[in-house]
Structures are given as structure tokens and as C-alpha cells.
């Protein structure tokens, strides 16, 4: 749990940092794609070394895949970007066809680069470390933990988790600049924990990973609601908290890395249905929650500022 908190906050910072680094005029592609690429690259590398990591320390594998990779990538922000493209949110196009093509390009680029990055991560890992020995098996059971049986690795994980929470609780109260980022790192582990708790549901329907699906839909609905609230808020601190919840809670509750791995591993027909339903319902939630407000009485440019 401690490692999950620490790696989740690191994942948020990587995603937000990449977004800021690649936010400039005339950028060739949308900035979010870089976080999706990095997260899926790490995910592929971790999957290729699953048995090795699990035999070393099982919680470390969960921390890397669910905590780090799942927090670097985000399904909800991707869907918000799709909605903005479909709805011509910034009025950058004059025709509906342009809006559709813009959104279609976001879908194709994100899915294509996510799949390619995950597979490339596996390839790079095997080139550097070689393939895992066939006789090395993934532990079938993970031992239960009690205070008296904690190892030094367990104590280190707990310490890292507590230290992470302390750091990101103290910083917003003492540093005024970039509070939205520290709030995101603070809220991130909450979203990751919820997604982690939903993960066992995936085994109930192997052909349709219901746990990941629910996490992505919940996160998308929350992000749409938060985006709506920003149009009714002007207080800077409130805006910073809302931005932190959007990037942290929603960004970590939803994931592209796990979603991509599921699309690759599912049978083709089931993968197509799973991907299509996820996209369709995600956009439907955006339209129902955020779109209905903006198209009736909202002002797309009235969103509050974090500065």
C-alpha cells in the first residue's frame, strides 16, 4: 500500500510534467500523448519482467503497473480531449467534419501509439535483460501480511508511503506556486487505490474487464463534473483544488496502460467490443454531464484559473 501511494504520486508528477513540457505553440500532436506513450512503455517493460519482479517482491509489481504506469496514463483526460474536439470547444474549426476528423485523429494516435509503446517496452526489456527463464513462474498466491511478519521491504514501502503523504500535505500549505500540481500528487493515490480495489472484478468477466471499465467510467464522469464546476468557480484556491482532483483523482482512477494491455490480450472480437463500449460510454458521459451544461447556459471560456 505504501509503495502504491509513492509510485502513484510519482506517476502524477510525470504526467503533469510531460504535459507542461510539451505544451507550446505549433506542437505537432496533443501534449497528453507523451504521457500515454511513457506510461505504456513502462507497462510493457514491467509485464515482460513480471515473474522476476513478483518473485523478488510482489507489491513492487503492483506499484509499478497499477501505481506508476496507471497514474502516468489517463483515460478520463483523453476522453475530455475527445469531447472538446467533437464539440469544437475552442472554436478552432468552422465545419463539423473538421471536428470529427480532429477527434478521430486523437483516437487513432492515442490507441496506435499506446499499443506500439507497450509492445516496444516489452521488446526493449527483453533486449536489455533477456527473456525470463521458462522455469521462473509467477507466484500463485501472495502471503497475507500482519505487523509481526513485515519484512524490511514492507517497512520501507510503508515509510515511503507516509513520507509521500506528508510531503504533499505540507507543500500546499507552505508553497503558493504550483499548488494544483501538489494537490494532484496528493489526490492521485486515492484514485489509484479505488482502481486497485476494482481490479479483482476483471476476473469475474475475462472477456470484458469490468473492473478497469468501471474505474475508467467513474473517473470520466467525475472529471466531467469537475470540469462543469470550474465554470462556476472563481476562487483561485478552489480552482487549484479542482485542478488537483482532475489531474490526480480522475487521472489516477482511470488508465490507458491497463486498458491497452487488455485490448492486446483479449480475443480480437471481444477487444473490439470492449474498446468501442468504453469509448462510446465515456463520450456519452461527457456529453450528458458537461455538454448539456455548456450547450445550454455555459461559457467554454469561463473556466477558472489556477494562477
pLDDT tens figures, 252-294: 999 999 999 999 999 999 999 999 999 999 999 999 998 888 7
**pLDDT per residue as tens digits for the range 194-250:** 999 999 999 998 899 999 999 999 999 999 999 888 877 777 888 889 999 999 999
Predicted confidence (pLDDT) at residue 117 exceeds the cutoff of 80: yes
CB 31 within 8 A of CB 19: yes
More confident residue, 20 or 95: 20
Q: What is the mean pLDDT of residues 127-135?
A: 84
**Cα–Cα distance for residue pair 41/116, rounded to 1 Å:** 8
**Cα–Cα distance for residue pair 193/177, rounded to 1 Å:** 27
Predicted confidence (pLDDT) at residue 92 exceeds the cutoff of 70: no
- Residue 97: its pLDDT value, please? 80
* Strand ranges, E, within the chain: none
- Residue 221: its pLDDT value, please? 96
Q: What is the mean pLDDT of residues 70-79?
A: 95
CB 32 within 8 A of CB 74: yes
- Residue ranges of alpha helices (H) inside the chain are 2-21, 32-48, 50-56, 58-62, 70-72, 76-86, 96-129, 152-174, 179-198, 210-230, 236-244, 251-253, 257-265, 268-286, 292-294
Q: Which band of pLDDT confidence, cut at 50, 70 and 90, is reported for residue 94? A: low
More confident residue, 122 or 295: 122
Per-chain mean pLDDT for the chain: 87
For residue 285 the three cell numbers come to 458521459
For residue 305 the three cell numbers come to 484559473
Task: Please return the burial class of 265, using the count of CB atoms within 10 Å of its CB with bins 0-12, 13-18 and 19+.
Answer: exposed
Q: What is the mean pLDDT of residues 132-150?
A: 66
**pLDDT per residue as tens digits for the range 6-43:** 999 999 999 999 998 888 777 778 889 999 999 999 99
More confident residue, 68 or 28: 68
More confident residue, 32 or 134: 32
- Residue 100: its pLDDT value, please? 85
Q: Which band of pLDDT confidence, cut at 50, 70 and 90, is reported for residue 298? A: low
- Residue 306: its pLDDT value, please? 65
Q: Give the start-to-end residue ranges of the domains of the chain.
A: 1-131+153-293
Q: What is the mean pLDDT of residues 122-135?
A: 88
More confident residue, 163 or 221: 221
**Cα–Cα distance for residue pair 179/219, rounded to 1 Å:** 22
**Cα–Cα distance for residue pair 300/103, rounded to 1 Å:** 18
Amino acid at each position: 500500500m505504501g509503495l502504491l501511494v509513492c509510485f502513484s504520486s510519482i506517476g502524477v508528477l510525470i504526467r503533469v510534467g510531460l504535459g507542461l513540457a510539451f505544451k507550446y505553440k505549433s506542437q505537432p500532436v496533443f501534449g497528453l500523448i507523451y504521457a500515454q506513450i511513457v506510461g505504456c512503455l513502462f507497462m510493457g517493460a514491467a509485464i515482460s519482467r513480471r515473474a522476476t519482479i513478483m518473485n523478488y517482491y510482489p507489491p513492487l509489481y503492483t506499484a509499478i503497473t497499477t501505481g506508476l504506469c496507471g497514474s502516468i496514463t489517463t483515460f478520463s483526460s483523453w476522453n475530455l480531449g475527445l469531447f472538446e474536439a467533437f464539440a469544437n470547444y475552442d472554436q478552432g474549426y468552422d465545419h463539423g467534419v473538421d471536428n470529427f476528423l480532429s477527434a478521430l485523429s486523437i483516437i487513432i494516435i492515442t490507441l496506435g501509439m499506446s499499443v506500439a509503446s507497450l509492445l516496444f517496452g516489452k521488446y526493449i526489456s527483453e533486449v536489455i535483460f533477456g527473456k525470463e527463464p521458462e522455469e521462473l513462474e509467477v507466484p500463485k498466491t501472495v502471503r497475507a501480511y500482519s505487523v509481526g511478519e513485515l519484512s524490511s521491504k514492507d517497512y520501507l514501502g510503508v515509510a515511503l508511503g507516509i513520507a509521500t503523504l506528508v510531503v504533499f500535505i505540507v507543500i500546499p500549505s507552505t508553497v503558493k506556486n504550483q499548488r494544483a500540481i501538489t494537490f494532484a500528487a496528493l489526490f492521485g493515490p486515492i484514485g489509484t487505490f479505488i482502481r486497485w480495489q476494482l481490479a479483482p472484478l476483471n476476473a469475474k468477466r475475462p472477456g470484458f474487464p469490468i473492473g478497469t471499465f468501471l474505474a475508467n467510467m467513474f473517473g470520466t464522469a467525475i472529471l466531467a463534473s469537475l470540469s462543469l464546476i470550474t465554470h462556476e468557480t472563481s476562487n483561485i484556491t478552489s480552482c487549484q483544488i479542482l485542478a488537483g482532483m482532475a489531474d490526480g483523482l480522475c487521472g489516477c482512477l482511470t488508465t490507458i496502460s491497463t486498458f491497452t494491455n487488455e485490448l492486446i490480450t483479449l480475443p480480437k472480437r471481444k477487444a473490439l467490443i470492449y474498446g468501442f463500449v468504453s469509448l462510446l460510454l465515456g463520450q456519452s458521459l461527457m456529453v450528458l454531464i458537461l455538454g448539456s451544461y455548456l450547450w445550454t447556459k455555459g461559457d467554454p471560456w469561463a473556466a477558472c484559473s489556477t494562477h
